[in-house]
Structure 1
Amino acid sequence: MSPDLPTRAEIAARRAENAAGKAALGPGPSLQRHRTLSIPTPDNVSVRARLLVPTASPRGVLVYLHGGGWVLGSIDTFDRLGRELARRSGWAVLMVDYAKAPERRFPDAVEDAWAALQWVPEHAGAELVDLLTPPAEGWRIAVGGDSAGGNLAAVAALRARDAGLLLDGQLLIYPVTDSDLDRPSYRSDPASRARLDEFWSLYCRDEQRTDPDAVPLRASSLAGTAPALVVNAEFDALNDEVDLYASRLAAEGVPVERHTMAGLHHGSISHWGTAPAASEALFVVAAWLNRAR
């Protein structure tokens, strides 16, 4: 049964509060170049994105999908994290402002994420020649995200496999991988369980909660997807489904690396400036990206 859902005014207030909280963390590092883009989608509703470029010749392009329960957040509120990822890794980071619920529900966010991922190998070199110098061996491309963005990244990695688009990695930071909220890690955290139930109800209809494009843990096969780095927080209601997804990837032959942010909770990757364990996780991410291919 769906929970009582917030009004549009309440959602707007939560978005403003979320943005203020992210702004209070301070600005991200200065980068050599950046540009806000408009990426076309098959339904002719373009998706806004921002390319963050640390050097004239980045090592690859990470398509990044931010967290926020498919409802909150934007490329502006996560700009700081994207800049730090670019600075530490030497990769260009393409932040994607995918469709937000409840104004645009499932599968719109999935389609936006997939359109942005496809756009990189097809158009980035030609359209951004003034920003990027392609490496001689060709672009390394990875997809990543945190929380709901990790969900979209996992789904995009599955689509890439099915479409024959070679990815060099999938970065999954405490990803939402299933809609089953009755696992022990959820039962031990009723507040997070209720919040995720609300997000799910805003994102999609009840009958869509088993669609593999919404819940990648229910895909018939994970084999053949890109090598994965799965990052979780020690105290996180999502840990059971994160563990299940990482275990399935490994069991089905996908190279998987794991990292746990000790002592931290869900959402803490954005606190890299004040939480040493979050900063350490970004170093792990950077090192992993630079081992790709």
Structure 2
Amino acid sequence: MDPELEAFIPLVPQVDLSDPIADRKNYAERAAAAPVPDTTGLDIEDRTVPADPDVPVRIYRPQGAQGAIVWLHGGSWVMGDLDTDHPWTTRLAAASGTTVISVGYRLAPEHRFPAALDDAYAVLTWTAEHAAELGIDPARIAVGGHSAGGAMAAAVALRARDQQGPPIRFQLLNQPGLDDRQETWSTDPVAATLGGGHAHMAAAWRHWLGSATATPYAAPARATDLTGLPPAHIATAEFCPYRDVDITYAQRLLQAGVSVELHQWPGTFHGSQAILSAEISQRQIAELAATLRRALTE
């Protein structure tokens, strides 16, 4: 474990997702305690995307931005909202020079698959249709997210390919939860237990799927055909339950002819990039932002 991150291990909460309401409250309180991000140079606006039901979004516009990313927050499909992701999306927009459209998708278990995916896809479609109004190039739209949000970003890319939807220029997937099948999860003892580990992930999938059988749109690692997908950047953490499946997904994308950049961050754990005081976390965020900037400007 990275020494700076190791010091925080005793503070990592064990979340079993047995009480989603309480877990959301605690998640929001932890996010509110994060350092306040600098919003200088950003135009931030809350909007509502017409859909069934309507989807709240928060748009972060840096000066001179040409491209945009439809961004999906983490939280195991159960936790998180526009406010909890505000520190992250602010930094991503400012550092990348990219318009970030943060999606307030519906949460499980009240709204199971495919509710959140439908929300995300509706926002992608709206973004493409309103590119001129948003001041962005419709050929420079990416999708991305962290953890559960990363999985949904990958699923949005699959759905857009299959349904001839809006063209997606790039996928930015940070520690995505791509597979519900536990046999693919990392067996490292730290990854299997830290923060709830495998038990947390299994509960998240139960909330997300309910009694439904996982499809590739719910668990993108189940997709058998990865051809024709947008180029991707996949970032993994050494002590993350999804490490191995994410690395395998990157390899499968390459084998399918998709351009991929894979970065395995040693000494990190799932979500540890939120520990902003750690030098390695600062490097992770800087790399994601730089990667997004290159993908949408070159």
TM-score (norm 1): 0.89
Superposition RMSD in Å: 1.8
SS at match of 1:182: helix
1:129-144 alignment runs, 5 A limit: 132=135, 134=136, 139-144=139-144
Partner of 1:291: 294
Structure 1: gaps of 5 or more residues:
none
Does the Cα contact within 8 Å between 2:247 and 2:262 map onto a contact in 1?
Answer: no
Number of equivalences: 275
1:38 corresponds in structure 2 to 48
The Cα offsets for residues 32-80 of structure 1, whole Å up to 9 and x where unpaired, read as 3110110122xx200111001121x203101100000000011100101
Q: Whole-Å Cα distance in 2 between the matches of residues 5 and 267 of structure 1?
A: 16
Which residue number in structure 1 is paired with residue 8 of structure 2? none
> How far apart in 2 are the matches of 1:269 and 1:214?
25
Change (3 A) 1:5 1:71: closer
Equivalent of 1:28 in 37, 45, 48 = 37
Instruction: Determine the structure 1 residue equivalent to 2:80.
Output: 73
Residue 139 of structure 2 contacts residue 168 of structure 2 at CA under 8 Å; is this kept in 1?
A: no
Counterpart of 1:85 in structure 2 is 92
Matched, 1:195 2:200: yes
Q: Answer yes or no: is the 8 Å Cα contact 2:17–2:204 preserved in 1.
A: no
Question: What's the counterpart of residue 106 of structure 1?
Answer: 113
State the one-letter code of the partner of 1:222.
L
Question: In the aligned structure 2, how far is the partner of 1:221 from the partner of 1:29?
Answer: 42
Write out per-residue CA displacement over residues 92-149 of structure 1, whole angstroms, 9 at most, x where no aligned residue: 10000111001111110110011111111102423x4xxx3x45xx551100001000
Once structures 1 and 2 are overlaid, which stretch shifts more, 189-198 or 44-53? 189-198
Distance 2:228 2:234 in 1: 16
Amino acid aligned to 2:174 = I
Aligned equivalent of 1:215? 219
CA distance in 2, matches of 1:218, 1:183: 11
Q: Which runs of 4+ in 1 moved over 3 A?
A: none
Counterpart residue identity of residue 169, structure 1:
F
Letter in 2 for 1:78: D
Distance 1:139 1:227 in 2: 14
One-letter identity of the residue aligned with 1:248: R
TM-score, with structure 2 as normaliser: 0.87
| 1:125 aligned to which of 129, 132, 136 | 132
Residues 1-293 of structure 1 mapped to structure 2, 5 A cutoff = 6=18, 10-31=19-40, 32-41=42-51, 44-55=52-63, 57-126=64-133, 128=134, 132=135, 134=136, 139-162=139-162, 163-183=164-184, 185-186=186-187, 188=189, 189-190=192-193, 191-209=196-214, 211-271=215-275, 273-292=276-295, 293=298
Secondary structure class of the residue paired with 1:34? strand
1:187–1:193 contact (8 Å) kept in structure 2:
no
Cα distance between partner residues in 2 of 1:158 and 1:34 = 29
Q: Is the 8 A contact 2:17 2:23 kept in 1?
A: no
Q: Distance in 2 between matches of 1:184 and 1:84?
A: 30
| Amino acid paired to 1:148 | A
